[in-house]
Amino acid sequence: MSAPEGGPTTPDEQAPRKRRGPRPSTTTSWTVAHEVGVSQSTVSRALRKDPRVRPETRRRIEEAAERLGYRPLNGDDAATSHRTIGVVVADLTNPFFPSLLTPIHDELRLMGYRVVLFAERTDIPTGQEALNRLLDRSIDGVLVTTATLGSRFPDAVRERDLPIVLLNRYVDGMDVDRVVADNHEGGRLAGRHLVELGHERIGVIRGPSNTSTSRDRLAGLVEVLGEAGIELDESLMRKGPYSHQNGYQHARELLRLKEPPTALFCANDVIGFGAVDAARSLGVDVPSQVSIIGFDDVPMAAWEVFQLTTVRQPLGDMARAAARMLAERIEFDGEIGPGREQVFATSLVKRSTTDRAAATPPAGA
């Protein structure tokens, strides 16, 4: 079920899966790809005059597009398209989600899909209301970025014969397509970095325990600390939503302890931003008195006001891969089989919020 780690590759001559059943009446980039024997992404690149496409391949694609009457969609065309994808997110105030939405929208638009955004939580009773609203819009598929470990939302979508892809999440025991980062290895990267800086008293501000991201990141951190002979002190662990308030509130609690941690592992960047603001509010210097590391590498992490050390997920690549995976499931469902998984590697991004452990950490700030 799993695919190799790393970004997706789409060679010029990679043939798409054979379509089962009648072709749709509207000519799409998939129709051109099927005709020429290349991938859909190659068709999109060729018609954008991307120099990475061989001239001969571009010529064949352009001839097929003209013969079939296909032209790439622009923004106005996409608005009138009858092919619609519902994208479900939890919280648009979290900069993580806008980092996904732009590449999702752009990739789907190139393939002839219109995107309808649903800002919903799928782990609460009103999740059923979200599903009903999705169905009311006559959509062709669903891309979900916010499912919890026990969520029934993906199964409820599939029971209605709608293709679905999970992005940045998986649900235990559920065989659906998914695109994720290697969150376990990301937790290990963060932990190894803190250990190499000499930190032993490490605080943790995690996300919701019912999300795969929070669980896997913590597991990786605990594992690498154990390998270094460091046992995570449960009294230094806090959990809550992936929010600035969670990071701010719990960082203040931890930094005001009689024996505060010398480093904080934050389960995402937004929690990390809250932790940095909390330290500053208490007069605790980052990083000389406390190191703070986040996870995701959203654009704000590089802002001068934060310069947050973090673990990077390749968000744009993941978003585009999920969009392509969903389009494939819509077009070629009968040929694809069981759920697929694509895992992307994570990497450490060192900035200004981590440093060697202080000899004497601030006491009860």
- At 204 the pLDDT is 99
Under the banding of pLDDT at 50, 70 and 90, the label for residue 20 is: very low
Q: What is the pLDDT of residues 209-227, one digit of tens each?
A: 888 999 999 999 999 999 9
Query: Alpha helix locations (H) across 2-54?
Result: 29-36, 40-47
CATH 3.40.50.2300 in the chain is located at 73-181+314-345, 183-313
Under the banding of pLDDT at 50, 70 and 90, the label for residue 111 is: confident
Under the banding of pLDDT at 50, 70 and 90, the label for residue 131 is: low
CATH 1.10.260.40 in the chain is located at 1-72
Cα 103 off chain centre by:
11
Under the banding of pLDDT at 50, 70 and 90, the label for residue 6 is: very low
pTM of the model: 0.77
CATH of domain 73-181+314-345: 3.40.50.2300
Nearest to 169 by CA among 94, 88, 101, 105: 88
Is it true that domain 1-72 has CATH number 1.10.260.40? Answer: yes
Q: Is the pLDDT of residue 363 over 90?
A: no
Under the banding of pLDDT at 50, 70 and 90, the label for residue 279 is: very high
Would you identify the CATH topology of the domain 183-313? Rossmann fold (3.40.50)
Asked if 25 contacts 66 with a C-beta cutoff of 8 angstroms, the reply is: no
Which of the residue ranges 21-25, 44-48, 329-333 would you say has the lowest mean pLDDT? Answer: 21-25
Q: What is the pLDDT of residues 299-327, one digit of tens each?
A: 999 999 999 999 999 999 999 999 999 99
Asked if 8 contacts 342 with a C-beta cutoff of 8 angstroms, the reply is: yes
Asked if 269 contacts 298 with a C-beta cutoff of 8 angstroms, the reply is: yes
Residue with the two structure tokens 């389960």? 267
Query: Alpha helix locations (H) across the chain?
Result: 29-36, 40-47, 55-68, 75-80, 96-110, 127-136, 153-158, 183-196, 212-227, 244-255, 269-281, 315-336
Cβ neighbours, 10 Å, residue 237: 16
- At 147 the pLDDT is 65
